[in-house]
Structure 1
Amino acid sequence: MSHTPHELAEEFPEFVEKMHELKVSDAHFAKLADEYHELNRKVHRAETNVEPREELAEVDLRKRRAAVKDEVYAYLTK
């Protein structure tokens, strides 16, 4: 299995425990984390040409991933 960069635990190591707790106790956070995970996988597959995409589509995925990541971070720091 290949390593997919930019996993949430890797991005926010100081919040690993809090993320786990929120995934279990908060449906909205769990949905955000799942959305980030799916977008991150799509970006990784596009970047490694497993599932190539047009450049603009790949850029759009990265922007969406960044927006969700920002939302996750805001949730973790509130």
Structure 2
Amino acid sequence: MSISDHALKVDFPDYKEVIRELRKTDPQFRELSDQYDALDKKIRGLEVRDVPTDDDHFRDMKQERAHLKDRLYHQFSKHS
């Protein structure tokens, strides 16, 4: 199974500079992106190690990651 990296800079390469700038200047954005990165790392870790986990729990984690990504996208797309 192929494990996709969903880091913001990977999924949104056109916004890489805006994301970097917001992480430096906007504490709220930085906190939200740190939460996103930690959750993405946790999900990918479970996928890579094939750790047994409850399907509902795994789905909830992925939905939370999508929700965080959406919030972050709305923030950085306004600054480009």
Question: Is the contact between residue 42 and residue 61 of structure 1 (CA under 8 Å) also seen in structure 2?
Answer: no
- Which stretches in structure 2 are left out of the alignment for 5+ residues? none
Q: Which residue of 2 aligns with 1:76?
A: 76
CA positional deviation for 1:16: 0.5
Counterparts of 1:37 and 1:73 in 2: how far apart (Å)? 14
Give 1:49 shift.
Answer: 3.0
Distance 2:22 2:51 in 1: 31
After TM superposition, the structure 1 = structure 2 runs for residues 1-78 of structure 1, keeping only pairs within 5 Å, are: 5-49=5-49, 51-78=51-78
Give the structure-1-normalised TM-score.
0.88
User: What TM-score do the two structures reach when normalised by structure 2?
Assistant: 0.86
Point out 4+ residue stretches in structure 1 off by more than 4 angstroms. none
Q: Indicate the percent of aligned positions where both proteins have the same amino acid.
A: 30
Higher relative contact order (CA 8 A, sep 6+): 2
